[in-house]
């Protein structure tokens, strides 16, 4: 039995595909610019079409374009020839993907696209192919060889195509001034959307659930409040309800080490006076960054008058899917 060196073969494949990515950098040229310009100026949708493995890659490219500010969708060439061409209008830009540039299922729909007046971008590995010849713009994705030892299975070529599609999508994202908030709007159901859209107002404990005691109260009162609200801390306020300090589990441990009487010790003698706060309108992701940077487990949320209106801890961010 022949001994199989999976590691050796895996590294060989990665080296070939790495070289393929280096090779296609030369094709990020004027044709690449023209293709991006066509998509940037598109008044309709970007339609991506490909067959087989190119179709799978095209589907991902269309999804990336759509989620980064360039409305796009994938159409299977076989379905296109049986009615789905009705989805395409003269205002659309159609991206045709084929390594050979001679895929019959794709070539069959080019005359209809021409008749419609839709602009065509071809992504192929052959600059003289039929598809390249009939496109408004041709973007080359030629690679020296496939990673498959037989030279048959699309491997390096599909990697190069996917990378070129990503390059286009990100170039368009930058040109459109697409922001993190824009991205979140197309990902409202996932953790990305939660990280980008949630504000502290959405996740904080507020109203009667906010841990607050008066500066005139004792450590015992602070412990009772902390236990009732379950956040491991309590805000300390003065007569005007303005925040003057914070008392946490960490402060309690220090008191116990000093053997202070929790029943008689005034909270203002042991509280943390310079505490980190936040406003309710900042993003939850920003609050997470603050807490990690300051190495703290909770935040008091204050209004413009520096009055506590809410509180949260790491557990709240975890439950909200921000962590």
Instruction: Return binding residues for Zn(2+).
Output: 76
Q: What is the DSSP string of 147-202?
A: SSTTS-S-SHHHHHHHHHHHHHHHHHHHHHT--HHHHHHT-TTSHHHHHHH-BHHH
Bridging pattern class, strands 243-248 and 93-97: unpaired
Tokens of 240: 């005007």
Bridging pattern class, strands 243-248 and 233-237: antiparallel
d(CA 155, CA 100): 14
Sign of torsion, CA 229 230 231 234?
Answer: positive
Contact 75, 84 (CB under 8 A): yes
**Which residues, including other chains, have CB under 8 Å from residue 164's CB and lie 6 or more apart?**
24, 27, 28, 32, 123, 139, 141
Task: Indicate the annotated binding residues.
Answer: 76
Q: What is the DSSP string of 285-312?
A: HHHHHHHHHHT-SEEEEE-TTS-EEEEE
Please report the beta strands in the chain, taking only residues with DSSP state E, as ranges in sequence order.
Answer: 46-50, 72-75, 93-97, 119-124, 137-140, 205-206, 212-214, 233-237, 243-248, 277-278, 298-302, 308-313
Contact 132, 156 (CB under 8 A): no
d(CA 8, CA 301): 56
Contact 270, 253 (CB under 8 A): no
- Tell which residue, 116, 112, 133, has the closest CA to residue 124: 133
Bridging pattern class, strands 298-302 and 277-278: parallel
């Amino acid at each position: 039995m022949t001994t199989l060196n999976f590691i050796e073969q895996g590294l060989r494949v990665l080296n070939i595909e790495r070289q393929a990515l280096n090779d296609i950098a030369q094709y990020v040229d004027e044709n690449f610019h023209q293709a991006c310009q066509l998509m940037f100026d598109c008044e309709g949708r970007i339609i991506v079409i490909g067959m087989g493995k190119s179709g799978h890659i095209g589907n991902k490219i269309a999804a990336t374009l759509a989620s980064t500010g360039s409305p796009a969708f994938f159409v299977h060439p076989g379905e296109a020839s049986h009615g789905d061409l009705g989805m395409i209008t003269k205002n659309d830009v159609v991206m045709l993907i084929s390594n050979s540039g001679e895929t019959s299922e794709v070539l069959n729909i080019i005359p209809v696209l021409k008749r419609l007046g839709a602009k065509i971008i071809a992504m192929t590995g052959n600059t003289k192919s039929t598809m390249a010849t009939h496109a408004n713009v041709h973007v080359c994705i030629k690679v020296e060889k496939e990673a498959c030892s037989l030279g048959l299975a699309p491997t390096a070529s599909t990697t190069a195509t996917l990378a070129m599609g990503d390059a286009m999508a990100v170039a368009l994202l930058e040109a459109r001034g697409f922001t993190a908030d824009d991205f979140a709007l197309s990902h409202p159901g996932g953790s990305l959307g939660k990280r980008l859209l949630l504000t502290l107002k959405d996740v904080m404990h507020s109203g009667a659930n906010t841990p607050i005691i008066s500066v005139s109260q004792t450590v015992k009162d602070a412990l009772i409040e902390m236990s009732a609200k379950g956040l491991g801390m309590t805000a300390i306020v003065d007569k005007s309800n303005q925040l003057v300090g914070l008392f946490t589990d960490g402060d309690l441990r220090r008191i116990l080490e000093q053997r202070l009487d929790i029943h008689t010790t005034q909270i203002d003698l042991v509280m943390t006076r310079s505490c980190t706060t936040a406003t309710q309108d900042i993003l939850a992701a920003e609050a997470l960054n603050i807490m990690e940077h300051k190495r703290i487990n909770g935040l008091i949320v204050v209004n413009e008058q520096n009055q506590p209106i809410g509180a949260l801890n790491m557990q709240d961010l975890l439950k909200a899917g921000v962590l």
